[in-house]
Amino acid sequence: MQTISDIRDLLAERGLRPKHKLGQNFLHDKNQLSKLIAAAEIKTSEVILEVGPGTGTLTEALLETEAEVITCELDRDLAQIIEEQFGDRVTLLQGNCLDKGRTINPMIEQTIQERPFKLVANLPYSIASPLMTTLLIDHQNCVGMYITIQQEVADRLLAKPSTKAFGPLGIIVQTFAHVERITVVKPTSFWPQPKVSSAMVSIIPSTDCDIDDRAGYAQFVVQLFMKRRKQLGKVFPKDFPWPNGVTRTMRPDALSIHQIMTLWRISNAL
C-alpha cells in the first residue's frame, strides 16, 4: 500500500495539493485499511465500487483481492493518477458518483448493470449520507457497504431512540440494513489531518425488509422528524388510529423503528 510519502510524491510530481473543497484527506494507515478490506470479505471476481479513490491507496489493496474494481473519481487530476497507476486493471469512471436529484450517476449504473456489488471506499464526507441512502433505497443489487465516514455520521447511523443522534439517516439505514462499527479512525491516519475523527462501518442490507415503497417510507421519516419535538397528536390527524404502544403524547424521537414503520403503514392505508 502507498505510504504517506508515496502520496505526497504522487501529488508533488504533478504540482498538486489536496483540495479542501473536495474533502481530500488521504487515508494512509495500512492497519486501518486492512481492517476495512477484511470486513468486506471480498471474493475473487466480485464487483467492487470504490468512490473517491484519491491516489489509489485503497484501490491497490482491492486489486490484491482479485476482485473487479470500478473506481469513480470526481477530480480530473486524481483520475489521471489512477489511470497512470493501474491502467486497465481497474475500470475508471471520471465524474460525480451522484447525479441530479441525488441519484446514482448513470455511468455507474451502466458499468455495473444489474450485477451484485459492494461499495468499499473512504468516502468524501459531503457525499456519504446521500450515497448510503440512495443505494439502500434504489439499488437492491448493492449487497454491502464497507466505508470510512465521519464519526459523527457513524454515530447517527447507530443511534437509538430518545438520543440526540437519533434521526432520519439512522432510521432509514437501520430499517433497510444491519449496521456495525468496524473501528474508529483517528485524524493522524489521514493526510492532511481532518479536524474530526472518522469511523469505518459495515452496512449489510436486510433480507427480510418487506417495505416495497422505500422512497415513500424515507420521505415519511424525513417529514415526521421535521417535527421531532412535537407530540404525535399534533402531527397526525385527530382521528388517527394509534397502534398498541404508541400514544398521541409521544414525540417522534421516542419511537422505535418498528413503531415508525407501523405508523407509516397506517398512514398509507388511510
Q: Can you give the pLDDT at residue 125?
A: 87
Q: What is the mean pLDDT of residues 246-263?
A: 97
Question: Would you state the pLDDT for residue 270?
Answer: 87
At residue 100 the predicted structure's pLDDT band, cuts being 50, 70 and 90, is: confident
Secondary structure of the chain in HEC code, one letter for each residue: CCCHHHHHHHHHCCCCCCCHHHCCCEECCHHHHHHHHHHHCCCCCCEEEEECCCCCHHHHHHHCCCCEEEEEECCHHHHHHHHHHHHHHCEEEECCCECHHHCECHHHHHHHCCCCEEEEEECCHHHHHHHHHHHHHHCCCEEEEEEEEEHHHHHHHCCCCCCCCCCHHHHHHHHHEEEEEEEEECHHHEECCCCCCEEEEEEEECCCCCCCCHHHHHHHHHHHHCCCCCCHHHCCCCCCCCCCCCCCCCCHHHCCHHHHHHHHHHHHHC
Query: What is the per-residue pLDDT for 102?
Result: 84
Chain mean pLDDT for the chain: 96
* pLDDT of 23: 87
Q: How many CB atoms lie within 10 A of CB 50?
A: 26
Q: Across residues 123-133, what is the average pLDDT?
A: 94
Whether residue 247 contacts residue 227, with contact meaning beta carbons closer than 8 Å, is answered with no
Express each pLDDT in 130-175 by its tens digit. Answer: 999 999 999 999 999 999 999 999 999 999 999 999 999 999 999 9
d(CA 181, CA 46): 23
- 188-199: per-residue pLDDT in tens? 999 999 999 999
pLDDT above 80 for 101? no
Task: Tell me the percentage of the chain whose pLDDT exceeds 90.
Answer: 94
Determine contact, residues 202/145, Cβ cutoff 8 Å: yes
DSSP strand pairing (190-191 vs 198-205): unpaired
pTM strictly above 0.85: yes
124 closest CA partner among 174, 78, 92:
78
The candidate with the shortest Cα–Cα distance to 36, out of 149, 187, 159, 196, is 149
Whole-number pLDDT of residue 56: 97
pLDDT at 20: 87
Domain 4-205 classification at class level: alpha beta
Mean pLDDT for the stretch of residues 80-109: 95
Mean pLDDT of 108-114: 96
* Domain chopping of the chain, boundaries: 4-205, 226-269
pLDDT tens digit string along 42-83?
999 999 999 999 999 999 999 999 999 999 999 999 999 999
pLDDT confidence of residue 55: 97
pLDDT of residue 1: 84
pLDDT surpasses 90 at 19 = yes
